[in-house]
A and B are shown apart, each in its own frame.
Chain A
């Protein structure tokens, strides 16, 4: 699963549905909802990719949260080399980490005891600060955060993040 899906949140979302006795269909929907955030990310990165349709679609597979955010040049374009370059070591780490976890996972039952669950929001916060250099970007970030916060108690896993991309529509407002 780590090799072919390669998206932690989606893997956890679908596994938690299966673990709770849900059907395979429900598990797939949960995972895909979580991964639907790659749709707006893919649209954002698309103009910066090169090559034919097939090559572009293949490069699009490199879109994962961290690489995508790192590769963003803040002006709406993306560093293609960084996008691809940042994903490859992550894939190795993710897959080898999964293998280690399968064999040694029971010895580390509570990763949150070491504060590891705070790493992701801290990392995204650092990346967010690079993005909010303009008033509009700050407004979009505030609105996106608000949308996510409001939807977490009511929407399925992943939906709050996708819905927050609607905040980017602030860009249509005339300056």
Chain B
């Protein structure tokens, strides 16, 4: 029961969050100042997601584990301009290898 209540509340909340941006703007185009902020939202959030997905754990703590090896492998693969699917596969392989070795 608790799980279903949680699911219901979470989904309503998420729908509201996702609807807020599109509703707030209506059809208006954002001002120049706002546009220059919006352009930077993607790089800020993506950089944060990279860090977050690499070192966070469930319990408020930084953890440096095999994910770092995976991300490092991805960085090298990206520098070599390999295709995205190869980059992802190499990242998973590097993390799996690092984890098997430690």
The chain A residues found within 8 Å of chain B, CB to CB, are 1, 4-7, 10-11, 14, 16, 18, 23-24, 27-28, 31-32, 35-47, 49, 53, 56-57, 59-61, 63, 65, 68-69, 72, 74-76, 112-129, 131-132, 136-138, 140-145, 147-149, 152-157, 160-161, 163-172
For window 67-98 of B, CB contacts with A under 8 Å fall at: 67, 69-71, 73-75, 78, 84, 87-88, 91-97
**Closest beta carbon of chain B to A11's beta carbon, Å:** 8
Known: A160-B48, A164-B47. A115 touches B40 (CB 8 A): no
**Closest beta carbon of chain B to A81's beta carbon, Å:** 16
B41 in contact with A31 (CB, 8 Å)? no
Q: In this complex, what residue of B is CB-closest to A134?
A: B39
Q: Which of A16, A18, A41 has the most CB of B within 10 A?
A: A41
How far, in whole Å, are A131 and B93 apart by their CA atoms in the complex?
26
**Closest beta carbon of chain B to A44's beta carbon, Å:** 4
Instruction: List 14 interface pairs A-B (beta carbons < 8 Å), by A numbering.
Output: A27-B2, A28-B10, A38-B14, A40-B21, A43-B38, A46-B25, A121-B67, A122-B92, A126-B84, A145-B51, A164-B47, A165-B41, A165-B44, A167-B48
10 A-B pairs with least C-beta separation = A118-B70, A42-B21, A164-B48, A115-B95, A144-B44, A122-B91, A115-B96, A118-B95, A122-B74, A171-B36
What per-residue 1/0 map shows which CB atoms of B1-30 lie under 8 Å from chain A? Answer: 011011111110111011111111110111
**Closest beta carbon of chain B to A125's beta carbon, Å:** 5
A154: chain B residues at CB < 8 Å are 60
How far, in whole Å, are A160 and B45 apart by their CA atoms in the complex?
10
A28: chain B residues at CB < 8 Å are 6, 9-10, 13
Please tell me the number of chain B residues within 8 Å of chain A, measured between CB atoms: 73
Tell me what chain A mostly uses at the interface: helix, strand, loop, or mixed.
Answer: helix
B101 contacts partner chain A, Cβ-Cβ < 8 Å = no
How far, in whole Å, are A157 and B39 apart by their CA atoms in the complex?
25
How far, in whole Å, are A149 and B49 apart by their CA atoms in the complex?
10
B61: chain A residues at CB < 8 Å are 152-153
Known: A46-B25, A53-B23. A118 touches B62 (CB 8 A): no
B38 in contact with A145 (CB, 8 Å)? no
Known: A76-B35, A126-B84. A113 touches B99 (CB 8 A): yes
How far, in whole Å, are A49 and B23 apart by their CA atoms in the complex?
10
**Closest beta carbon of chain A to B52's beta carbon, Å:** 5
B74 in contact with A18 (CB, 8 Å)? no
A119: chain B residues at CB < 8 Å are 70, 88, 91-92
